[in-house]
């Protein structure tokens, strides 16, 4: 049983009680500190690629938001870009239509709009599973894409939202051509949201989500309301996706229909599969691999670079069915990273 394996310590022993298990797994590890310190290396090792680094940070945040509902709650969404796009368009419209270019307040408003949309749609989405769930989330994404496409006066339609102007960040830092401010801003947003997601997944609420994912019918019998919990995490995921979209709009000062496209929803799903679902670091590692591969492969062959992405995906699914991070589970020094999942955190070999 998954609940039994969750109580097993990495050294083979058994935790005395669930509280001890959660306290141990929520403890910050050395490898995690090193991981986040390495995120600062692009400032010195790749200063000419900071724009790419900011895109990676934004995509990683978007992937974490999807992982909260897919990897931890079992909600398969093919329209998660709807909330990403809502955040991006909200931040852009605030600047273009209302002349408001302050980033932090714009981020908060964008997150609120995406969260409200997530909460309202959660009453429909969280009632279904499997194929019906996929179709409903896909339909929501397609509907929002078409609304943005036809609302030319508000969103710019197929031409995108033009004329976005952001103010200086904190009244001091302006966006530069090299991407120093953009990457700093995106990295801070990613780190703060990661800390929140980490706290959620290591809390009793997070463990209840895992139980709902495994068996949604039995969880109410032990006092965990399945529908209410699913609606909460779906709303939280929508908020984080909206933040990712808003950061993209604010750092690039442009918004197009692509932010609402099915392609973006599919890409982030591929990223999670590559890195490993149900592992917060899986979304980050998947984003790094996917974005770097896309940047290099599209430069080598702009027309057929997706062929190599598909080949990579097939190889990972074939030889590492739990993703790259899951495939590295045998490396003991990476244990704190792959242990940040809410399913079977450790299995005896």
Helices (DSSP H) in 151-225: which residue ranges? 152-155, 180-201, 204-214
Q: Over the stretch 249-293, which tens digit does the pLDDT of each residue have?
A: 999 999 999 999 999 999 999 999 999 888 899 999 999 999 999
Q: How many CB atoms lie within 10 A of CB 7?
A: 17
What would the pLDDT profile of 10-50 be if each residue is shown by its tens digit?
Answer: 555 555 566 666 666 777 888 899 999 999 999 999 999 99
Tokens 């940070």 map to which residue?
57
Measure CA 88 to chain center: 15
CA-based torsion, 185, 59, 141, 297: positive or negative: positive
Residue 347 pLDDT greater than 80, yes or no: no
Number of Cβ atoms within 10 Å of the Cβ of 225: 13
Instruction: Please tell me the chain's helix, strand, coil percentages from 3-state DSSP, rounded to the nearest 5.
Output: 70, 0, 25
For residues 277 and 321, the answer to whether their CB atoms sit within 8 Å is no
- Provide the token pair at 7: 């109580």
What would you measure as the largest C-alpha separation in the chain, in angstroms?
63
* Separation CA 48–CA 40 (nearest Å): 14
Q: Give the distance, in angstroms, between the CA of residue 259 and the centroid of all CA atoms in the same chain.
A: 14
Tokens of 12: 């083979």
Residues paired with residue 169 on neighbouring β-strands, in sequence order: 173
Question: Residue length, the chain?
Answer: 349
Residue 29 has what DSSP assignment?
P
CA 201 – CA 209 distance, rounded (Å): 8
Task: Check if the beta carbon of residue 103 is closer than 8 Å to that of residue 167.
Answer: yes
First-to-last C-alpha distance (Å) of the chain: 15
Q: What is the CA radius of gyration of the chain?
A: 20
pLDDT at 270: 93
Q: To the nearest whole percent, how much of the chain has pLDDT over 90?
A: 57
Taking the C-alpha atoms of residue 311 and residue 314, their distance in angstroms, rounded to an integer, is 5
Predicted confidence (pLDDT) per residue in 43-89, tens digit: 999 999 999 999 999 999 999 999 999 999 999 999 999 999 999 99
Domains of the chain: 2-338 (1.10.3470)
Q: Which of 163-167, 193-197, 246-250 has the lowest mean pLDDT?
A: 163-167
**pLDDT for the residue 118:** 97
Rounded distance between C-alpha atoms, residue 13 and residue 135, angstroms: 43
- d(CA 170, CA 53) in angstroms, rounded, equals 21
pLDDT at position 194: 97
Question: Which pair of tokens denotes residue 43?
Answer: 């400032």
Element housing 19 (H / E): helix 18-25
Task: Give the containing element (helix H, strand E) for 116.
Answer: helix 103-125
- Whole-number Å distance between alpha carbons of 172 and 174: 7
pLDDT value at residue 11: 54
Q: Exposed, middle or buried by CB within 10 Å (0-12, 13-18, 19+), for 74?
A: buried
């Amino acid at each position: 049983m998954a609940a039994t394996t969750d109580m097993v310590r990495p050294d083979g022993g058994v935790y005395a009680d669930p509280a001890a298990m959660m306290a141990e797994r929520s403890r910050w590890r050395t490898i995690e500190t090193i991981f986040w310190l390495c995120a600062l290396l692009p400032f010195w090792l790749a200063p000419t690629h900071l724009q790419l680094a900011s895109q990676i940070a934004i995509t990683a945040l978007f992937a974490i938001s999807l992982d909260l509902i897919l990897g931890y709650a079992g909600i398969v969404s093919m329209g998660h870009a709807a909330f990403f796009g809502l955040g991006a368009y909200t931040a852009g419209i605030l600047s273009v239509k209302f002349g408001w270019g302050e980033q932090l307040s714009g981020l908060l408003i964008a997150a609120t709009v995406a969260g409200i949309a997530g909460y309202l749609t959660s009453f429909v989405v969280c009632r279904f599973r499997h194929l019906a769930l996929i179709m409903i989330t896909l339909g929501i994404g397609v509907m929002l894409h078409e609304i943005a496409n036809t609302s030319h006066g508000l969103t710019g339609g197929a031409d995108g939202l033009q004329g976005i102007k952001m103010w200086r960040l904190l009244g001091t830092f302006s966006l530069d051509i090299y991407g120093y401010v953009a990457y700093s801003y995106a990295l801070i947003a990613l780190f703060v949201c990661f800390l929140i997601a980490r706290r959620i997944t290591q809390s009793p609420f997070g463990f209840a989500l895992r139980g709902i994912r495994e068996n949604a019918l039995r969880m109410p019998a032990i006092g965990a309301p399945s529908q209410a919990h699913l609606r909460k995490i779906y709303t939280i995921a929508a908020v984080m996706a909206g933040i990712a979209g808003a950061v993209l709009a604010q750092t690039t000062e442009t918004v197009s229909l692509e932010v609402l496209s099915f392609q973006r929803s599919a890409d982030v799903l591929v990223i999670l599969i590559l890195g490993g679902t149900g592992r917060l670091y899986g979304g980050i590692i998947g984003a790094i691999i996917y974005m770097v591969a896309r940047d290099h492969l599209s430069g080598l062959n702009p027309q057929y670079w997706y062929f190599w992405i598909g080949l990579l995906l097939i190889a990972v699914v074939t030889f590492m069915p739990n993703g790259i991070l899951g495939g590295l589970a045998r490396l003991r020094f990476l244990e704190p990273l792959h242990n940040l999942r809410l399913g079977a955190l450790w299995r005896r070999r």
